[in-house]
Structure 1
């Protein structure tokens, strides 16, 4: 049997959740200093041969250009668009301003990426007024103080608020009462459901379920047979707008990682290890900034055929330095043995965190253990000094000597992993009902 049908839960109906999502954020920031490009096809993307699209204006999106699309494909779809290299420092600056505005509304704020956040404004209504008024004020302040545009969805939980903000884009506000969740979701294609990927959508399509409404009418046991017990139960609740997740004001990262895509496939072990070294220092810098210590290191290696291998190892002593992370990463890479083919991408990830001041265990009788502790402490001090220089002069201010030898191709992209985070795709306003006016 498929198990008992989940009961409809009412506890979240009294919550008021907002999802604030900036419209084409990266493009919007670039246009602040390039107003002559407003209204034109604009694509923010790296210039390397394997770069991907970070964001595209709605004029470019109309031609099929989308986030994470290879830049080469984007240029085929939009050959006359203006292509701009990313200005990551500016994105962080404007993201901080936006989050400060949202934080002034409520301390129940969950930032999920540089340009989107959830707010639980349930407790702010008595002080600030009705939810739609709060949302309008947020949109006005963001535009006046940053020059950027935000779309906002309002509902009784995070899932519905997210769906409402997506539906209101661009430049919109949409209120979806929790009591009208099923009517709001029913006409949507199943692929539009947040969290439904291509594989699940294909299974549902093969079963004859093309819309959310069709899934709503499907027997609970059938969904579990088709998708599995857990996935079936999740979809059953999702298509009814049930989502009990709270707004999480403090998110603890379970891992920190970075990846490097070579501009050309390579079997040069020296170049690959140089990339691992740079990534290890990037990851370690984030570990120290979070005042954590990592007790696990993992690597990811993807070859020219897109076959990906991941390996991980535990660390007896917690790591905070790039040197420690790299030693573990290099050992994992060496354990893979001879390379069967060229490598396209490598990644380094630190995990299993503890507080930085948790200390390191030393043997009472082992002088070598004490010497190692002193040596690593010196390395830690050196890399902490590097952090200060890096913060003032950027990543080129100071690097390990090995990386000054030019062993890494200069035309590469390094992307930071976002754990527990997500990027989304980017109207009219409506104060009631799930339909916009």
Structure 2
């Protein structure tokens, strides 16, 4: 019996953060809008299409963006606002299928195969999703549709902005063959250069290349994987509600930290953020990791285990602080331009009853509960521990 073909949709909001800013401030329409950190070490989160014409792109240092686009409007990110709009968008997805794989606030894969019984085609579902997002948020979404994730994402990318494209099985080669080989998923800069050296510049070139040339460039295993992808083959499923691997928080400083006391205060601030998020999700972790970056760009990481999986801020901070102090004392002139902490090692199957009965379960702290409730009511940062006060006004 032949397996029914899947129906996969990829939705990507157009220049999401910048579009939200234009929605809330119509005077920005038609201007080059860049959402970015505005400090000396800020980076670009999103640039609208007007700004992209000047070469501004995500992850670019804000200083470089200003050089390329000095007349642009630079806006500080408002993550709470973007999350609120994202919740509306994902609410639209949930009306069509429960199989939603969120990639970020503004991007997701949907498997709507089971929904085809209620709609005439995947295009009908995609059009309704696009129209509903527009009606509920006032924003444009690019929608790509096909029978697998690779082609659905390619369809949304090729049709941006405000895109809408379905790639049918018989159309795959027509869309894929002319594309530069660097556009293919899994082909990085090194692999792209190696393929160019043997005369492979497009996906069609790769399919037509003999084994010797292809394997010389990227190896036999990767070469055969690329052949399958260039044929439009992608068996990956849409994975709904993927388990959270880690919860982290970090901060890049305008002025390097050069005292341990201030570094400890910032570490406590990040531990409060991580603990609050873990408790909100009902997750308890075993591993605490710290990320420490010296100027100009040397990054160190250290990790240690909690005695019992937990999410209490004092326990997370005790481990993180010890790791920070050890690192600090090992360096003759310690300075930090970035500091971060993460909690990982979650096990959703592990209940409190399964934990070590001889360990002290200090994960439920009254102070955490009070702080969480006040911050939920009055906003993040309304109540912090005294040690965090040293960081106030130094954001």
TM-score computed with the length of structure 2 as normaliser: 0.92
**Secondary structure in 1 aligned to 2:345?**
strand
The 2-side partners of 1:319 and 1:381 are apart by: 14
Deviation at 1:80, TM superposition (A): 0.7
- 1:435 match: none
Do residues 31 (structure 1) and 28 (structure 2) align? no
The 1-side partners of 2:42 and 2:367 are apart by: 33
The 2-side partners of 1:291 and 1:220 are apart by: 51
Do residues 294 (structure 1) and 285 (structure 2) align? yes
Do residues 43 (structure 1) and 63 (structure 2) align? no
1:137-152 correspondence to structure 2 within 5 Å: 137-152=128-143
The 2-side partners of 1:12 and 1:147 are apart by: 39
The 2-side partners of 1:270 and 1:38 are apart by: 46
Specify which of 356, 365, 374 is matched with residue 389 of structure 1. Answer: 374
Q: Which runs of 5+ in 1 are unaligned?
A: 1-9, 364-368, 412-437
- 1:206 match: 197
Deviation at 1:36, TM superposition (A): 1.9
Deviation at 1:113, TM superposition (A): 0.9
**Secondary structure in 1 aligned to 2:178?**
coil
> Which of 142-151 and 334-343 deviates more?
334-343
Deviation at 1:21, TM superposition (A): 0.6
> Which of 24-33 and 348-357 deviates more?
348-357
Q: Deviations over 1:208-257 (max 9, x none)?
A: 32222222233456545543565444333322222111111221011111
- 1:126 match: 117
Specify which of 166, 170, 188 is matched with residue 175 of structure 1. Answer: 166
The 2-side partners of 1:87 and 1:353 are apart by: 29
- 2:337 match: 344
Specify which of 257, 260, 269 is matched with residue 260 of structure 2. Answer: 269
Do residues 358 (structure 1) and 343 (structure 2) align? no
- 2:394 match: 410
The 1-side partners of 2:255 and 2:213 are apart by: 47
**Change in CA separation of 1:229 and 1:272 when aligned onto 2, cut-off 3 Å:** farther
The 1-side partners of 2:342 and 2:216 are apart by: 36
Q: Which runs of 5+ in 2 are unaligned?
A: none
Do residues 254 (structure 1) and 245 (structure 2) align? yes
The 2-side partners of 1:339 and 1:264 are apart by: 19
**Secondary structure in 1 aligned to 2:381?**
coil
Deviation at 1:94, TM superposition (A): 0.8
The 1-side partners of 2:126 and 2:65 are apart by: 34
The 2-side partners of 1:287 and 1:220 are apart by: 49
